Amino acid sequence: MNDSLLHKGMRKRLVETIVSKGISNQNVLNAIGNIPRHLFMESGFVNFAYKDQAFPIGAGQTISQPYTVAFQSQLLQVKPNDKILEVGTGSGYQAAVLVELGALVYTIERQQELYVKVQQLLPSIGYHPRFFYGDGYKGLPTYGPFDGIIVTAGAPFVPQDLLDQLKIGARLVIPVDNGDHQIMKVITRVDENEFDEQHYGNFAFVPLLNGTN
């Protein structure tokens, strides 16, 4: 793996940047500090890997901004060995963060091209989530319920199937569309039929789309 001292230095500065923006969970900061984000980038953007920005990854999709990844990861409150579902594998960067946090990660992607690519990259650098090709609106009913679910694309609404796949006490972290941006929502399953909803500010995500491609 090509991960030089220069990369490590840039990563350290990236961590300082997201601390200055308000991320405080040390496990999340360690994960961002450990993961070689430059290996997740399209070749034209490698030099920008440690900027706190989203970048194109092909198939019209993006690798999320590190601050956003950290923010969502912090909201998810992952504990070691938690079974976590991620909707929107994309580059695999968020999945790598979840693996670093000690989760057993199940990740779904609807774009064939990205689904194939990420299965080469992540295991080659030591990350082993379980990969699924499919429509994240449906979740993974045969593998649930989950200790947490994270959606990394802007959803037009909160999919009922995802709520159904939360354990009691588990949380769904999902950016929900509100016209020109998304509101970050955390929905906690209080008991079988009761859910608590909290809002955590505005974000910009690519849309959660229907079906597979």
CA dist 145 and 195 (Å) reads: 15
- Per the CB < 8 A criterion, the answer to whether 54 and 63 are in contact is yes
Select 120 or 193, whichever has its Cβ closest to ligand SAH.
120
Reply yes or no on whether 64 is catalytic: yes
| Residue 208 tokens, joined | 């959660």
140-168 core/surface letters (b: 16 or more CB in 10 A; e: else): beeebbbbbbbbbbbbeeebeebeebbee
Q: State the minimum distance, in angstroms, from the CB of residue 29 to ligand SAH.
A: 17
Which strand (E) or helix (H) includes residue 169? Answer: strand 166-177
Shortest CB 90 distance to ligand SAH, Å? 2
Looking at the Cβ atoms of 73 and 166, the one nearer to ligand SAH is 73
Q: Which residue is nearest to ligand SAH (CB)?
A: 90
Catalytic annotation, pick one of 64, 73, 91, 124: 64
CB 200 within 8 A of CB 184: yes
Q: Using the minimum distance from each CB to ligand SAH, give the nearer residue, 129 or 136.
A: 136
For residue 196, the minimal CB distance to ligand SAH (Å) is: 25
* Residues within the interface to ligand SAH (CB under 6 A): 61-64, 87-88, 90-91, 93-94, 108-111, 114, 135-137, 152-153, 206, 208-209
Q: How far is the CB of 149 from ligand SAH (least distance, A)?
A: 12
3-state secondary structure of 2: coil
Name the residues annotated as catalytic. 64
